[in-house]
């Protein structure tokens, strides 16, 4: 017993005599550290860093001779091939027709998705008639529908735009109608007590409340438009970027195939970026991790 008492006294003694630097060290460790759970400050242009890094690795590997150009040509030879195709006048018209198809299909898909999900989300009858059918449509693979659509519409532009529109409207419909049905009942009550008209209710409560879900759908829809574009252009086409790639591939011109892929990648990345920018402006009221 006596021993332990003495030991304690000694320990206390050393603490008291400890140099002043020690006490400041104690201060730092006793301050409660709060673990940060959010991702932290936004890095400017962070979305571009990943792709740029990928291109850098690709360039280094090619320059070092570690990449067989028959497997994957170097970035500069892809750019060079792209330039040659452009100068030869093959690339320009094909790009234009592809962009037009994607834009038209996207526009039709977007309008259909918004109209259908508003009908299904805001009325019980609409939901009964529409929602089940869209869920079935969603389960049908696009590739499987192509033969039927060719029979119905021929192999012209109508068929291609229809397929793109279908690929676009499904993700937008799914996300938008989920957002519409998730609108807080408390806001509906509020709108009732404030005596809002149906139109004002839509404008002030429903549409802004469903916008976050709409933008999720929109981003998926934009990507779906590019994917569907490749599919329709490679299956049955006589023009367009997909056709060009397919044709060049059959001659074993791998550089041209990579040019096509790179253009699809740039288009997808850019369109997603545009949607994100619009989203950030429109949804500036939100304070989320995205900050």
Judged by the rule CB under 8 A, the positions of this chain that interact with other proteins are: 186-187, 189-196, 200, 204-205, 208-209, 211, 283, 285-287
Nearer to other proteins, 13 or 192 (CB): 192
Which is closer to other proteins, CB of 72 or CB of 190? 190
When the beta carbons of 191 and 225 are compared against other proteins, the nearer one is 191
8 Å CB contact between 260 and 272: no
In which residue are the tokens 């360039």 written?
59
**Would you say 7 or 123 has its CB closer to other proteins?**
123
Residue among 13 and 189 whose Cβ is closer to other proteins: 189
Q: Which is nearer to other proteins, 206 or 259 (CB)?
A: 206
Query: Shortest distance, CB of residue 194 to other proteins, whole angstroms?
Result: 4
d(CA 230, CA 260): 10
Least distance (Å) between residue 103 CB and other proteins: 29
What is the closest distance, in whole angstroms, from the C-beta atom of residue 87 to other proteins in the complex?
50
Q: How far is the CB of 127 from other proteins (least distance, A)?
A: 18
Burial 119-133 (b: 16+ CB within 10 A, else e): bbbbeeebbeebbee
- Nearer to other proteins by Cβ, of 205 and 245: the residue is 205
To other proteins, the closest distance from the beta carbon of 175 in angstroms equals: 17
Determine whether 194 is exposed, middle or buried from the number of CB atoms within 10 Å of its CB (0-12, 13-18, 19+).
exposed
| Residue 183 CB, nearest approach to other proteins (Å) | 11
Structure tokens at 267: 């288009």
- Cβ atoms 163, 105 nearer than 8 A: yes
CB of 86 to other proteins, least distance (A): 45
């Amino acid at each position: 017993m006596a021993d332990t008492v003495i030991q304690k006294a000694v320990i206390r003694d050393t603490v008291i005599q400890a140099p002043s630097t020690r006490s400041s060290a104690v201060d730092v460790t006793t301050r409660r550290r709060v673990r940060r759970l959010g991702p932290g400050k936004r890095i400017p242009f962070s979305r571009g860093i990943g792709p740029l890094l990928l291109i850098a690795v690709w360039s280094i590997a090619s320059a070092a001779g570690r990449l067989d150009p028959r497997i994957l040509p170097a970035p500069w030879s892809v750019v060079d091939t792209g330039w040659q195709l452009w100068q030869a006048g093959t690339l320009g018209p094909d790009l234009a027709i592809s962009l037009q198809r994607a834009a038209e299909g996207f526009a039709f898909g977007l309008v259909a998705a918004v109209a259908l999900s508003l009908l299904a989300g805001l009325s019980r009858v609409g939901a009964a008639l529409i929602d089940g059918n869209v869920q079935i449509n969603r389960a049908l693979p696009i590739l499987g529908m192509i033969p039927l659509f060719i029979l119905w519409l021929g192999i012209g532009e109508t068929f291609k735009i229809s397929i793109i529109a279908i690929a676009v409207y499904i993700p937008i419909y799914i996300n938008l109608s989920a957002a519409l049905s998730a609108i807080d009942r408390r806001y509906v009550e509020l709108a009732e007590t404030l005596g809002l008209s149906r139109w004002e209710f839509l404008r002030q409560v429903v549409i802004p409340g469903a916008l976050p879900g709409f933008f999720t759908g929109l981003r998926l829809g934009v990507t779906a438009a590019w994917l569907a574009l490749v599919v329709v252009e490679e299956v049955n086409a006589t023009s367009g970027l997909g056709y060009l790639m397919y044709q060049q591939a059959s001659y074993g011109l791998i550089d041209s195939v990579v040019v096509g892929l790179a253009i699809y990648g740039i288009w997808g990345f850019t369109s997603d970026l545009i949607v994100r920018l619009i989203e950030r402006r429109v949804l500036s009221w939100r304070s989320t991790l995205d900050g």
